[in-house]
C-alpha cells in the first residue's frame, strides 16, 4: 500500500525537512507555497493611515507519496525537524493512495516512487 | 504674476533696485539664447515629471490596474501637447489683457524679429510654448492618480482633453496670462494653485462623481486598504518628480540671461529641495508618532507635499523658512489622507492631500515671506480658481457620465481594468495574490449589490 | 474518522468562506492559489496585434481537515457563502484522512486539528 | 465511485495534457504550480562570486476528480502526452474521493464534476 | 548634411538670409562655450536613451530573459564608447571628403587652438566626440530588442563591436561625415536613417538569420503571443526615450551660440514632442478601432514611431505637420507589427516596425516640409544605406553563426537565457507563472524536433 | 584642491599658460551666469544619483526589505539637505584656512555683491551650496546599501545625520574646504576619496559592528548567496548613476564661463564615460573567465567601479588611460567581492568593493596622469581621511548600538524589515518565493541560536 503524507511547515524549515527526508532514502517530493490560517495569528499591516489584519501566513506544503512502512519514520523525522515549539509549526496529514505511475517509464506502484 | 513675461526686459519682474538699470538695456543675443535654453532644459525636466507621476501611480495602484494607469499617464501627456497647440496656449496667453480668457486659435511660432536681430521677445516662442505646455500636462497627471482603478480609459482621456484645452488655460490666463488675478497682485510663482490645486479640484469632483472603489469603505466606517503593488516604482516616481521639480520651479524664473535671474534660480532650487526634505521628514516623523511605523508611501507623499507647498513662492523664503513651509505640507498630508477617507472620497494615490491641500497651503503661505503679496489676494485667487474648476470640471464629468459613461462595470473593476480595457496584464509572468482576506487584491463584497452581479452572466469571474 | 474537504472557490469569496467556517468552530485551514479550467470559459487577451485565449482562471483552493461529523455543516456553509449562482462557482471534494499530527506537540488525530 | 488523479508534469506539457484530457470528455481540472524534488537534479546559480544549488524544479500539478471508469483512459492519455522519455517527467497518483459537490447548483457525486 | 559641422561658423548651415552677416564673424568664446555645453547636456540626454531602451526591452521580454536583456543593453553602451574611441569616430569623420569612408585610428582630443584663444573649431573636440558616440550606442540598442530571447550574449556583443566600430561609422561618414550622400544633398537631421533604420536593417538581418523564437509561430499561420513581463517598466523606458529624444534631435542643431540656433532648437524640441504625441494617439486610436481594446504596448510603440518619424527633419515642419508626420508613423507601426509576424520575422519588441519602417518613412517625408531636399535624393540615401547595412550585417551575423554560434540551444531558450547564460534570475523572489496554456511563458512544443530533445539528456527540464 | 573655488577668477586653478591673461580680467556677468547654471544643472544630475542608489539597492536586496531600502534612500537625501544647511556647509567651507575644520552655524545665501554688479564671487551662493550638498547625499547612499537588510531604520537615519552634519564636512574641509590636505597638494577632483571612500569606510565599520545577515555565512566558510530581487531595477539604478556621474565629475570643473573650463568639462565627461565602459567590460570578462557565466550584477558593479576609479582625476587622462583606470577598477571589484565574503564582512550590494576599494585605487592612480600630484601626498590623503572616518564612524555606530540599538531582532530580520518596521510589503500583490532550499529568501537556521528563538514567542512565523 502507498500513503500520501502532506506536511505543512514553516517556510524556513523546508531545507531541514528536505534533508531529513532524503536521509531516509526518499528520493522525491513535491512542494508548494500555501497560506495558513490557524491558531497562530497573523499580523497587522499599515497602509496610508489605515491598519488591517493579515490573517494568512506563508507556509510550505510538502507532499510525499511513500510506501506504507516508511510512514512512521518520515513522520518522526518531519516532526523532529519542523518543530520549533511555537504555535504555527504546522501539521502532518496522512491518507491513502491507490495507484502511482512514473510517467517516463510507465512503472507502477511502489516502483514508481 | 510670474509666467507672464513682459517682453521689454527679461528682468522687469524681479523687484531688485539694481536692476532698474538693466530694464532699459536692450536684450542681448546672449540673454535671448540663455533664456531660451533655460526654457528648453527646464521644460525637459518638467516633462520628466509626467514619467514621475506615471511611476508613482503605477506603484500605488493594484497590479490589475497597472497597465491602464501607465497608458493613461503617457497618453495624457500626448493629449496635453496636442491640445495646448490646438487651443490651450492661445486661450491662456493671447490677448488676455487683464481679462478672463485669451483667444481661440492654433498656436504658431513666430521668431522673425529675433532672426532679424531684434531680441526683445526675450526667448524663442517655441521654447516658451514648450515650457508652458509641460505644466498643463502636470495638472492632468494629478487627476489620473486620484480617479484610478475605476474610470474608463477613454472617458478619462476625454476629460483630459477638456482640462488641457479649456479649463486649465482659462484659469491660467487669469494669473499667468496677465488676466484679472495678475492685475490684482495674486502671486503663484510656479503653480501651487494654477497647476496643482487645479488638478486637485478636478480630481476631487471626479472622485466624488465616480464614487469610491468597490469595497474600499466597509460597514461602520471601516476603511479597507488596497495597498499599491510596487513600492520601489512609487519611490522612483517620487525621485523623478523631485528632480523634475527643480525645472518646474527653477524654470519659472523665466530667465537666465542676467545675474539676478540666475541668483534667483539658485535660491529657488535650493528652497525647492529643502521644502521637499522638510515635507518628507515631517511626514515620516508624524507617521511614526501616530502609527508607530514609518509608512513609506506617506514619506513619499510628504516629499511631494513639501514640493507643492513651496511652489507658489520658492524665490523669497530663506532656507529655514522653506523647510518649515514644506514641513507643514508634510504634516498636512498625513492628516488629510485619513480625512478624505472619513468623507469616503476615495483618492487612490493621495493626490488630493498632496496637490489640493498643499497647493492651497502653499499659496496662502506666500505672504509670510513675500511682502508684496497679501493673504486677501491670495485667498481670492485660491477661491476663484477653485470655484471655476469645481464648476467646470463637474459639468464635464457629468456630461461624460451621462453620455459615454464614466465608470467601468463592477465586474470589470473586480477583474481589473487591465484585462477589461487593455486586454493585457501588467505583470503576466508573475503569480499575483488574490487572497481577498489578505487585504491586497480585496474585493469586499458587502459593497456589491447582488442583483447587479446576477444580471451580467457573461463576464463573471 | 477525519475527512479532508477541498473547496475550490472564486477568489473574492475567500473572506466570506473563511468567516463562515471559523464560525463553525474550525480553527485551521490551508489556502492556495490555483488555476481552474472548467465550464466557465476564460477570456481573450491581446498582445501586439495577436489575440489569444486564456483558459485558466484564478481560483482559490481551501483545504480543511476536520472530523467526520463536522463535514455536512461545513459543506453547507461553504456552499452558501461561495455561491453566486453563476458558472465557475467551484467545487467541494471530500476524502478520507487517516492520520493527523500537530508538529508542535505531537498530538494525534482529532486533537491535532 | 470517484477518483482523484494528481498529475505532476513538466510545465511546458500542460497544454498538451489539457488538450488530451478534454478530448476524453473531461470538462474540468484544477492546476497549480509546484516545485519538484526528485531524481532530476536541479542546477547551480551564481550570484556575486558564490555558486549555489537550486534543488527544486518548477512543475505543474493537475488535479482531476473523475468517475472511476474514466481513470485508465486518463492515465493513458496523460502518460502519452507528458512523456519526453527523460528524467523528471513526473508522476500520476490516484486516490479515492468520497463526495463531490458543485457549489453553484448543489449537485452531488458524478453529476457535480 | 547636418552633423558635419563647418568650422568657420556655427551657423553656416542654417539657411536664413539674416545670417549671411554672421557667417563672417569670428566665433566668440561665448559661442564656443555654449555650443560645447549643448553637446554635453544633449549628449547626456541621448546617453539616457540607452537606459530607456534597456527598460523598454526589459519590460517587453519574458521574465526568464530579463537579466540578460539588461546586461546586453548596458554592455552595448560600453562597447559603443570603446569602439567609437578605437576606430568609430575617425572612420566616420576623419577625412571623408565627399568619399565613402574616413580613416582608421584612435581618436584623441585636440583643443589647442581654443585654449590659445582661437575658437573657430566652434566647440570642444571631446564634447563632439561624446555627442556622436551616444548616437552610435542608440543604433545598437535597436538591434538588441529585436533579436532578444534567443541570441547568445557574447555573440550579440561581438556583433555590436562590428556595428559600432565599422558598419555604423562607415555609412555615417556618407552623410554626417561629409561623404558622397552629403554632397548629394541627402538630409537626415538627427538620424531617422543613419541611426534608426541602420539599427533596423541590422536587426532585420539578425532576426531572419536567427529565426523566430521556438513556439512563436504555430501551425496554420497562428501567432502565439509571448507577452512582455513588466508593462510599467516598458512605459518607463518609453518615457525615458521620449525625454532623451529632446537631446537627440535638439542637440542635433549642433549649436547653441547664436539666436538662430536656439530658435531652431526650440522648434526642433516642440516638433519632436508633438510628433511623439501624434504617433501615440494615432496608434492608440488605430488599435482601438481594429481590436476594440487599447493595447498599451502599441501606444508606447506609437510614441516611439512618432519620434523616429520626425527625426529626419524636425526643424522644418510646423507643429501641425509634426503631428501628422508622427501620426502616420503611429499608424504604420500598428500595421507593421502583424505584417512582420505574417512574414514570420520574430521581432520581440517591435523594433523593426518602429525604427526601420518609421525611419524610412521619416526620411522620405522630409521633402514635404523642406524645399531643399528631394524625394529622389532621400530615396537614394535610404536605399544605399539600407543595401550597405543589409549586406555587411548579414556577413557579420553569418560569420558569427558559423564560428562561435549565434543562437542558444533549444533547452536554454526554454529555460531562459538568464539561467542559461547568466546563471541568475531577474526576479528570483517572485513566483513566476509557467502555465504554458496561458500563453505567457509558453513553449509550444510543436516547433521542437523531438530528436533534438532526446539527444541532450542532461539539461532537460 | 579642486572644489575650493578661488573667487578672483574662474580659471585660476587650470594650469594653462594662455589663461595667465584671463586671470586678471574681472569676472563678467556671462561667466557668472554660466558658472551658476553649471552648478545647478550638474547638481540636479548629482541629485539624480540618489535615485540611482535607491534603485540599485532596491534591486539588490531581497523583496522583504525593499520598501525599507527605498525609504532609507529617499530619506537620507532629505537628511543630507537639512544637515548641510544646519551645519555641514559651514563646517566644510567657512574659514578652514589650511586647518582641520570650518565653523559651526546655519548657512545662508549672500549674493549682494553680484546683485550690485560685482561678479567676482564667480557663481551664486545657493548654486554652490546645492552642488556641494548633493555630494554629501552621495556619501550616505554608499552606506545604506552595505548595511541593508538588518539595520533598524531610525538608527540608520541617526547615523546619516552625523555623517552628513559632522563627519563628511570635517574631512571634506581638509581638501575641498582649503584645509591642510589641500595645502599639501592632495588631489581629489570629484571625490574618489572625499565622497566614495568616505562612504565606504563608514559602511565598513557599520558592516563590521552590525555583523553579517543571519545565514549569510554557513559552516566551513560556506557563503550562502542571497540574490537581489529585481535585476532590471538594479540595472536602471546603474544607468541612473552613470548618467548622474557626468554631473558629478563634469560639474566638478566648477566653472563653465570660459573656454578652458568647457574644454576641461568635455574631457572630464568623455573620460568618465570611458572609465565606466572599461570597468564594466573588464568585470564582465573577468567574471566570464572565472565563473564561466556573466554575472550581471558584477557587470553593473564593474561600471560603477570604473566611475569611482576615474573620479579622483578625470581631467588629466587620455581616453585610453581612462579606459585602463576604469578597467583596473572593474577587475578589483570582481576580486574584492569574494574577498570581503572571506572576511565575513557582509556587504549586501558590493558597496565596499565599488566605493571603498576603487575609491582608494582611483585616488592613488592620479599621479600616473597628473604630474602635479605625488603618490606620497595621495597616500597621506587616503590614510588620514580613512583613519578619521574609521574612528569617528565607529564611535557613532557604537554609541547608537548601545543606546537605541542598531540591529533589528532576529525575528524581524527573518520576516523582513518591511513588515517589521514599515508594516507594509514592497510587492504585496505578488506571490513571493519562500522556499528556503532554493537559496532565495533563505534563512539558514544553523546561524540562529535556538534559545533566542524560543524566547520571543509572539512574533514567530
Ligand atoms: N484543520 C486544518 N486543516 C488544514 N490545515 C490546517 C488545519 N489546521 C491548521 N492547518 C494548517 O496548519 C498551520 C498551523 O496551524 P496553527 O493552528 O497555526 O498552529 P499549530 O500547528 O501549532 O497547531 C496553519 O497555518 C494551517 O496552514
Ligand atoms: N473534474 C474536476 N476536477 C477538479 N477540479 C475541477 C473539476 N471540474 C471543475 N473543477 C474546478 O472547479 C472550477 C469551476 O468549475 P466550472 O466547470 O467552471 O464551473 P461550475 O463550478 O459552475 O461547475 C474549475 O475552474 C476547476 O478549478
Ligand atoms: N515520492 C514522491 N512523492 C511526491 N512527488 C514526487 C515523488 N517522487 C517524485 N515526485 C515528483 O515528481 C517529479 C519527477 O520526479 P523525478 O524523480 O525527478 O523523475 P521521474 O518522474 O522521471 O521519476 C518530482 O520533481 C516531484 O515533483
Q: What is the CA radius of gyration of chain C?
A: 17
How many Å apart are CA E126 and CA E409, to the nearest integer?
43
How many Å apart are CA F431 and CA B76, to the nearest integer?
32
Q: What is the least distance, in Å, from the CA of D54 to any CA of chain A?
A: 11
Q: Tell me how many degrees the CA angle D55-D61-D67 measures, rounded to the nearest 5.
A: 150
Q: Tell me how many degrees the CA angle F96-F99-F105 measures, rounded to the nearest 5.
A: 35
Name residues 151-210 of chain B within 8 A of F (Cβ).
Answer: none
Q: How many of the other CB atoms lie within 10 Å of CB of E453?
A: 17
Considering only alpha carbons, which residue of chain F is nearest residue E123?
F263
Cβ separation of D49 and F295 shorter than 8 Å? yes
Inter-chain contacts counted by CB atoms under 8 A, chains A and C:
80
Q: What is the 3-state secondary structure (H, E, C) of chain B?
A: CCCCCCCCCCCCCCCCHHHHHHHHCCCCHHHHHHHHHHHHHHHHHHHHHHHHHHHHHHHHCCHHHHHHHHHHHHHHHHHHHHHHHHHHHHHHHCCCCCCCCCCCCCCCCCCHHHHCCCCCCCCCHHHHHHHHHHHHHHHHHHHHHHCCCCECHHHHHHHHHHHHHHHHHHHHHHHCCCCHHHHHCCCCCCCHHHHHHHHHHHHHHHHHHHCCCCCCECHHHCECCCCCCCHHHHHHHHHHHHHHHHHHHHHHHCCCCCHHHHHHHHHHHHHHHHHHHHHHHHHHHHHHHHHCCCCHHHHHHHHHHHHHHHCCCCCCCCHHHHHHHHHHHHHHHHHHHHHHHHCCCCCCCCHHHHHHHHHHHHHHHHHHHCCCCCHHHHHHHHHHHHHHHHHHHHHHHHHHHHCCCCECCHHHHHHCHHHHHHCCCCCCCECECCCHHHCCCCCCHHHCCHHHHHHCCCCCC
Q: How many of the other CB atoms lie within 10 Å of CB of F19?
A: 21
How many Å apart are CA B257 and CA B33, to the nearest integer?
8
Query: Where residue C12 falls among pLDDT bands split at 50, 70, 90?
Result: confident
Kindly list the distances between the CA atom of residue E353 and the CA atoms of D70, E145, E205, E336, F161, in Å, as whole numbers in the listed order: 50, 12, 14, 5, 52
Mutational test site, ligand 2, from C91, C94, C95, max ligand atoms within 8 Å of CB: C91
Give chain F's residues under pLDDT 70: 1-25, 433-461
Q: B220 or E194: whose pLDDT is higher?
A: E194
pLDDT for residue C101 is more than 70? yes
pLDDT for residue B437 is more than 90? no
Cell numbers found for residue F401? 548600538
Q: What pLDDT, in 10s, does the model give residues E21-66? A: 444 567 899 999 999 999 999 999 999 999 999 999 999 999 999 9
Residue E403 burial by CB count (10 A; 0-12/13-18/19+): exposed, middle or buried? exposed
How many Å apart are CA F382 and CA F193, to the nearest integer?
7
Nearest 10 degrees: Cα torsion B4, B10, B12, B15: 100
- Picking from A4, A29, A106, the nearest residue to D93 by CB comes out as A4
Give chain E's residues under pLDDT 50: 1-2, 4-23, 436-461
pLDDT for residue A106 is more than 80? yes
Q: What pLDDT, in 10s, does the model give residues D17-57? A: 999 999 999 989 999 989 999 988 877 888 888 888 888 88
Query: Where residue C54 falls among pLDDT bands split at 50, 70, 90?
Result: confident
pLDDT given at position F8: 34
Q: How many of the other CB atoms lie within 10 Å of CB of F409?
A: 14
pLDDT given at position B433: 65
| Strand extents, DSSP E, chain A | 2-9, 29-37, 43-47, 50-54, 57-67, 90-97, 99-102
Chain A residues within an 8 Å CB radius of F433: 33
pLDDT given at position F445: 36
Nearest CA to ligand 1 atom 12: A90
Name residues 34-93 of chain B within 8 A of E (Cβ).
Answer: 36-37, 39-41, 43-44, 47-48, 50-51, 54-55, 58-59, 66-68, 70-71, 73-75, 77-79, 81-82, 85
What are the start-end ranges of the H helices in E251-316? 259-291, 296-310
Please, what is the average pLDDT of chain A? 91
Q: Which of B144, F76, D58 is nearest to A33 (CA)?
A: D58
pLDDT given at position C51: 82
Quote the distance between the C-alpha of residue F444 and its chain's center. Answer: 31
pLDDT given at position B434: 53
The stretch B336-349 carries a mean pLDDT of 96
Query: Where residue A46 falls among pLDDT bands split at 50, 70, 90?
Result: confident
Considering only alpha carbons, which residue of chain B is nearest residue A37?
B437
Q: How many of the other CB atoms lie within 10 Å of CB of F408?
A: 21
Domains and CATH numbers, chain E: 34-401 (1.10.3430.10), 430-461 (no CATH)
Identify whether the C-beta of residue E332 lies closer than 8 Å to the C-beta of residue E325: no
Residue A74 burial by CB count (10 A; 0-12/13-18/19+): exposed, middle or buried? buried
Identify whether the C-beta of residue B146 lies closer than 8 Å to the C-beta of residue B197: no
Q: How many of the other CB atoms lie within 10 Å of CB of F292?
A: 10
- B441 in C contact zone (CB under 8 Å): yes
| Count of residues in chain F | 461
Query: Where residue C58 falls among pLDDT bands split at 50, 70, 90?
Result: confident
Query: Where residue B16 falls among pLDDT bands split at 50, 70, 90?
Result: very low
How many Å apart are CA F374 and CA E317, to the nearest integer?
57
Q: What pLDDT, in 10s, does the model give residues B373-428? A: 999 999 999 999 999 999 999 999 999 999 999 999 998 998 899 999 998 899 98
* DSSP states along chain C: -EEEEEEEE-GGGHHHHHHHHHHTT---EEEEEEEEESSS--EEEEETTEEEEE--EEEEEEEEEEEGGGHHHHHHHHHHHH--SSTT-EEEEEEEE-EEEETTT--BGGGG-
Identify whether the C-beta of residue E74 lies closer than 8 Å to the C-beta of residue E153: no
Q: For residue C40, what are the contacts with CB-CB under 8 A and spacing of at least 6?
A: B460, C57, C87, C88
With a 6 Å cutoff on the Cβ, whether C10 touches ligand 2 is no
A51 - beta bridge partners? A46
Residue E344 burial by CB count (10 A; 0-12/13-18/19+): exposed, middle or buried? middle
pLDDT given at position D62: 96
- Report residue B337: phi and psi, to 5°: -60, -55
pLDDT given at position F268: 98
0.95 surpassed by complex ipTM: no
pLDDT for residue A11 is more than 90? no
How many Å apart are CA C62 and CA A36, to the nearest integer?
10
How many Å apart are CA B91 and CA B106, to the nearest integer?
10
Q: What is the least distance, in Å, from the CA of B334 to any CA of chain E?
A: 27
- Picking from E419, E431, E436, the nearest residue to D14 by CB comes out as E436
Identify whether the C-beta of residue C61 lies closer than 8 Å to the C-beta of residue C7: yes
Pocket of ligand 1 (CB under 6 A): A 8, 36-40, 57, 59, 87-91; C 28-30, 63-66, 102-104, 113
Q: For residue B240, what are the contacts with CB-CB under 8 A and spacing of at least 6?
A: B48, B49, B51, B52, B55, B56, F51
How many Å apart are CA C66 and CA C61, to the nearest integer?
16
Cβ separation of E291 and C52 shorter than 8 Å? no
Q: E299 or C40: whose pLDDT is higher?
A: E299
Kindly list the distances between the CA atom of residue F408 and the CA atoms of B151, E201, E246, in Å, as whole numbers in the listed order: 42, 55, 47
pLDDT given at position E25: 66
Please, what is the average pLDDT of chain F? 89
Ligand lying nearest the CA atom of residue A104:
3
Identify whether the C-beta of residue A8 lies closer than 8 Å to the C-beta of residue A59: yes
CA neighbours closer than 13 Å in the CB half-sphere of residue E442: 25
The stretch C90-99 carries a mean pLDDT of 95
Q: Which atom of ligand 2 is nearest to the CA of C35?
A: 27
Tell me if the domain spanning C2-112 has CATH number 3.40.640.10: no
Identify whether the C-beta of residue C5 lies closer than 8 Å to the C-beta of residue C74: yes
Amino acid at each position: 500500500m502507498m500513503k500520501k503524507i502532506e506536511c505543512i511547515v514553516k517556510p524556513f524549515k523546508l531545507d531541514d525537512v528536505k534533508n531529513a527526508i532524503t536521509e531516509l532514502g526518499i528520493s522525491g517530493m513535491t512542494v508548494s507555497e500555501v497560506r495558513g490560517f490557524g491558531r497562530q495569528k497573523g499580523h497587522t499591516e499599515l497602509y496610508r493611515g489605515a491598519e488591517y489584519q493579515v490573517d494568512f501566513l506563508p507556509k510550505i506544503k510538502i507532499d510525499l507519496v511513500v510506501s506504507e512502512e516508511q510512514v512512521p519514520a518520515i513522520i518522526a523525522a518531519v516532526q523532529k525537524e519542523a518543530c520549533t515549539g511555537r504555535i504555527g509549526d504546522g501539521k502532518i496529514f496522512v491518507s491513502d493512495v491507490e495507484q502511482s505511475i512514473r510517467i517516463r517509464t510507465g512503472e507502477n506502484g511502489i516502483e514508481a516512487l | 504674476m510670474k509666467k507672464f513675461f513682459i517682453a521689454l526686459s527679461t528682468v522687469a519682474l524681479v523687484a531688485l533696485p539694481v536692476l532698474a538699470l538693466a530694464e532699459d538695456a536692450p536684450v542681448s543675443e546672449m540673454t535671448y539664447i540663455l533664456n531660451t535654453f533655460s526654457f528648453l532644459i527646464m521644460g525637459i525636466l518638467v516633462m520628466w515629471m509626467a514619467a514621475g507621476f506615471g511611476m508613482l501611480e503605477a506603484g500605488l495602484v493594484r497590479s490589475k490596474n497597472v497597465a491602464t494607469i501607465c497608458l493613461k499617464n503617457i497618453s495624457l501627456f500626448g493629449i496635453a501637447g496636442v491640445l495646448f497647440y490646438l487651443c490651450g496656449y492661445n486661450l491662456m496667453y493671447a490677448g488676455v489683457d487683464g481679462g478672463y480668457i485669451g483667444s481661440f486659435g492654433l498656436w504658431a511660432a513666430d521668431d522673425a524679429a529675433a532672426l532679424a536681430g531684434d531680441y526683445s521677445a526675450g526667448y524663442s516662442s517655441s521654447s516658451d510654448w514648450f515650457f508652458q505646455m509641460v505644466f498643463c500636462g502636470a495638472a492632468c497627471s494629478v487627476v489620473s492618480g486620484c480617479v484610478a482603478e475605476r474610470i474608463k480609459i477613454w472617458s478619462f482621456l476625454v476629460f483630459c482633453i477638456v482640462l488641457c484645452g479649456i479649463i486649465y488655460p482659462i484659469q491660467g490666463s487669469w494669473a499667468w496670462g496677465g488676466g484679472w488675478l495678475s492685475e490684482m497682485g495674486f502671486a503663484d510663482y510656479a503653480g501651487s494653485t494654477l497647476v496643482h490645486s487645479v488638478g486637485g479640484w478636478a480630481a476631487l469632483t471626479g472622485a466624488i462623481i465616480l464614487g469610491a472603489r468597490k469595497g474600499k469603505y466597509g460597514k461602520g466606517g471601516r476603511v479597507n486598504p488596497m495597498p499599491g503593488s510596487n513600492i520601489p516604482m512609487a519611490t522612483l516616481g517620487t525621485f523623478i518628480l523631485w528632480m523634475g521639480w527643480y525645472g518646474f520651479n527653477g524654470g519659472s524664473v523665466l530667465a537666465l540671461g542676467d545675474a539676478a535671474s540666475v541668483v534667483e534660480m539658485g535660491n529657488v532650487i535650493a528652497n525647492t529641495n529643502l521644502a521637499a526634505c522638510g515635507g518628507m521628514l515631517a511626514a515620516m516623523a508624524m507617521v511614526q508618532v501616530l502609527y508607530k511605523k514609518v509608512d513609506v508611501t506617506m514619506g513619499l507623499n510628504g516629499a511631494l507635499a513639501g514640493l507643492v507647498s513651496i511652489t507658489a513662492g520658492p524665490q523669497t523664503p530663506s532656507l529655514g523658512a522653506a523647510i518649515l513651509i514644506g514641513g507643514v505640507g508634510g504634516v498636512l498630508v498625513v492628516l488629510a489622507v485619513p480625512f478624505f477617507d472619513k468623507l469616503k472620497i476615495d483618492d487612490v494615490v493621495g493626490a488630493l492631500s498632496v496637490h489640493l491641500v498643499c497647493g492651497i497651503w502653499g499659496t496662502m503661505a506666500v505672504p509670510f515671506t513675500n511682502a508684496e503679496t497679501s493673504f486677501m489676494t491670495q485667498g481670492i485667487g485660491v477661491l476663484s480658481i477653485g470655484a471655476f474648476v469645481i464648476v467646470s470640471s463637474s459639468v464635464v464629468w457629468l456630461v461624460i457620465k451621462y453620455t459615454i459613461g464614466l465608470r467601468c462595470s463592477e465586474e470589470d473593476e473586480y477583474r481589473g481594468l487591465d484585462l477589461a480595457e487593455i486586454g493585457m496584464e501588467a505583470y503576466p509572468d508573475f503569480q499575483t495574490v488574490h487572497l481577498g482576506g489578505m487585504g491586497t487584491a480585496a474585493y469586499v463584497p458587502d459593497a456589491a449589490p447582488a442583483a447587479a452581479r446576477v444580471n451580467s452572466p457573461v463576464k463573471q469571474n
